[in-house]
Structure formats: structure tokens, C-alpha cells
Structure 1
Amino acid sequence: MLLPETAEEFRRSLLRWASENAREYPWRERERSRYEVFVAEFFLTQTPADNVAGVYPKFLDRYPSLNAIREAEVEKIESVIEPLGFQRMRAQALNSIAESVDELPDTSDQLQELERVGPYVANATLCFADCAKLPILDRNVERVYTRVFGDEYPDSRSERERFCTEMLPEDPDDVRMYNLGLLDVGALVCTKRDPGCDDCFAFEYCDYATSRE
């Protein structure tokens, strides 16, 4: 796939921005296990990060492993994660996952075979826990790429996945920071409403920003 001419500049600038501005959450600490990252990503689906941060430490304290979830009553799990919403669905899904595997798989396809685990949660888990070179696509990422690259960002889902994969840096540590940066630019700068275009590193070549002038 032929990437836009500004792809490399965007990649370098995003990494610089992320090194100074990436949000700090407990699940982003480098020593976190795959299980600990998975729990966070599972909860972050349709839930603001700050809400998850309020529940995350308590949950890990009570359920530090899949085995602990397997041995717990579903209702007890529900009571811990109730502030996040969807507590019954999430508790039942976690229990089902714990019943089906002793350890979380190390491939995205295998993770997606688990109950209520989609491509985003699977890829994010392996990228942030294991520095796997995998793309992550959520609404924030889609919005950033669509705005910056305009018509050069593909329309189809499969082509977008390929585009996002080829945008990733070569260095595994950079891949992790790049994906975190994408999420945070979308959450903090390239927001759905009133984006901070004037403060964005991509302002000069962003299709959306230049079209507003």
C-alpha cells in the first residue's frame, strides 16, 4: 500500500508528541502483565478511562488472575465493577473467559475467540503488554486518520486495517508509544467537537485543518 507523502512526518511528530503528552494510567505502566492490560482494555470498551481508573486497582486487588475470577461468584464480580456499567454482561464474560483458558493467548486471533473480545481489545492487549506490532482502530483513531489524511485514508475496513498496520513504526517500543499517542491525540486534541487544530502537530498538512482556513 502506498502511504501518503506526509505519513513519515506524521509518525515522527506523533511519537514526539506522545513522549511528552501521553496520558498516565495504571494499566499503561510497562511492567503490567498481559492479564492486567487485558482487564483494563476489556473495561475501557464504551467506558471513559477515568471511570475505569477508579475501579481498576480494586478489581486487580480482588482478582489478580484468571484463576481468581474462575473461583469467584459472578455476583461478587458484578458488585466490584458496577460503577462501570454493563456489570452483569462484563462479569459473566470474564467468568466465561476464565473458565475457557488458564492463560490469555498470545495471538490476536486466539484472543478474539474469547467471549466479547473483539479486534480492538485483542490488539490493544498484545500491543501494550507485549509490544506486538498490531494496529488499533477505535473511533478516536479513525477520526484522527480520516481528518489528517482525508481521501488518502481508505474507505473499506480491510484497507484501513492494512493502512494502520503500515503506519506503525519498526521499533516495538515505538509501536506501543505510537498507538498510545493515536488514542490520546484523538481524546485530547483531535476531539469530535471543537478540535484543537491550532495546537496540533499535524496542523500544516492535516486535510481537515487546512480545509477550515
Structure 2
Amino acid sequence: MEARTFYGCKENDQAVRHIPSDSEDSELEESDSEEEWTPESDGLPDDNESVDEEENEDDEVSQEDVPRSPRWRTPRNANITDYPEWQANLPKSDSIKSPYEYFKMFFSEDILEIVVEQSNLYAIQRDTNKPLNLTTKELEQFMGTAVYMSLFGLPGTRMFWNKATQVSQVADTMTLNRWEFIKKSLHFNNNEVRQEENVDPLHKIRLLVTGS
């Protein structure tokens, strides 16, 4: 295609001047003779080097994130062959006691009387018009129902008296109002005896510990 046809013909247009191929000033020959220019780094890291560094950093981070299995070491002076041995004999079937007898070994009559006395006193201190009138037998029933409740996974104590989730062993032993009243009044020591200078941390249960 001619240049005149491509660019259009105008009267003032000059003819396209073709550069002779044998000219010494040819730009094509100069471009071929010159070496290919490469940009200087100017102190900047190469792209390939930066990629390699990032990969190395990722490898280090990944290695740090991977949990390592612990190495167990045995102390030098450890004697792992010395284990405590059972020296006593298992009890015979005739000497095994009932659950109630084991309970009485921890909660004797003296302890139950102390709890009854202090609980009745605390109920009167709270409200003189509402005495508790707790007895040792009723206290044993309360503690028995509390232990029996621990065998179930009910989220609330009132559910043991609910019709849908009622447990007869608890509901038939004591009414709900009486059980909650004993629970609120349960006490082990007289609060009025404690003075300001008394810093005994076990004051609340001191009578259970010492018995007096």
C-alpha cells in the first residue's frame, strides 16, 4: 500500500521520503549494532531474588507453626523401679458396712446436734416469726435427699417436685417449701460470736472441725 493512499492525498502534503537501505545513518543498522540495554539495579533487589526470599520466609513460618513432638528425658538420679506397694489386705465381705454406717462415721450425733442448734438459731436471727424447728431426723432426711439429687442431672432442684420430672424418693420424703427453708437456714456456727478482731478463716465451720 502506498503512503499517499494510506494517509490521504493533500496538495500541501510532501512526498514520503524513503530511507535508503545502504545509508550509513540508518537507525535500523544502529539498533542492530548496539548492545541490548538492560536497566541497572540501582541497589534494588531483583524480582527473582525477592520471590526466593519470600518463599524462604514462608517456609520458616510454616516450620514454626508446625507443633513439634515433646522429647521426654529421664532424670539422671530417677529410680523409676520404686513403686509404692499395697501392704494392707482387702476387707472381707463380713466387715463391709452399709452406706448409712459409713455416713455416721463422718456425721456423728454430736455433729448433727450442732448443725440443728445453729440452724435453728440462724433462722430466728433472720426472722423471729418464722422458726425452723429442725430435728436431727429431719436433718438426716435433708442430707439424704441432697446426696440422692447428685445422682441425677437435673439443672434445678425444683424439678424433683415437678410433675413432669418428679422423683418420688425426694418428693415423698419432704415438701419443696420445707426443703428450701432448711437449705436457706442451714448453718454451722453463730455469726454474732464472731468479733471484728477474729480473723479465723474457718469460723463458719469451726464447730464442725473442733466439735466445740
Largest Rg, 1 or 2: 2
Larger helix percent: 1
Q: TM-score, normalised by structure 2?
A: 0.26
Q: TM-score if structure 1 supplies the norm length?
A: 0.26
Larger relative contact order (CA 8 Å, sep ≥ 6): 1
